[in-house]
């Protein structure tokens, strides 16, 4: 699985980062960086929570 970011949708609110701070980081320039786009199946639940938390639907999971 791989976490995919649609930069045109991202508003850099950081709700994903609030859920999983070791996977997502909004930098001081306001751009979201995915720190680990393939964190492994055992963290799938957390990844789904972070994707779900995004208000603009900018994150998705590619199997």
Partner 1 sequence: MTVLDASGQTRADRPYDPADLSSHAFWRSTAVEREQTFARLRADRPVSWHVPVEDMLMEDPNDQGFWAVTRHADLVECTKRHDDFLSGEGIVMESIPQELLDAGQGFIAMDPPRHTKVRRLLSSAFTPKQIGRINDQIEANARRVVDDIARLGEVDFVHTVARLLPMHNICDMLGIAPKDREHLAHEAQYAGGWNDPELMGDDDPLTRMGESAINIAVLAQKNLDDRRAHPGTDLLSALVAAEVDGEKLSDAEITSFFALLTVAGNDTTRQSLSHGVRALTDFPDQKAWLMADLEARMPSAVEEMVRWASPIMTFRRTAARDCELSGAQITAGDKVVMFYASANWDTEVFDHPERLDLSRSPNPHVSFGGGGIHHCLGNQLARRQISALWRQLLTRLPDLEAVGAPDLAVSTFFHGVNHQTVRFTPEGSS
Positions in the binding site for partner 1 (CB under 8 A): 8, 10-15, 17-18, 21, 25-31, 55-57
Question: CA-based angle 15:32:12, to the nearest 5?
Answer: 50
Task: Identify which of residues 27 and 41 has a Cβ nearer to partner 1 in the complex.
Answer: 27
**Nearer CB in complex with partner 1: 4/57:** 57
Please identify which residue in the block is written with the tokens 């306001």. 30
Shortest distance in whole angstroms from residue 42 CB to partner 1: 22
Contact 35, 23 (CB under 8 A): yes
Q: Among residues 8 and 41, whose Cβ is nearest to partner 1?
A: 8
Q: Which residue has the tokens 């609110």?
A: 13
């Amino acid at each position: 699985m791989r976490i995919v970011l649609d930069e045109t949708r991202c508003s850099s609110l950081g709700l994903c980062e609030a859920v999983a701070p070791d996977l997502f980081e909004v930098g001081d320039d306001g751009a979201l960086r995915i720190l680990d786009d393939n964190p492994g199946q055992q963290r799938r639940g957390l990844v789904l929570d972070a994707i779900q938390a995004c208000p603009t639907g900018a994150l998705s999971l590619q199997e």
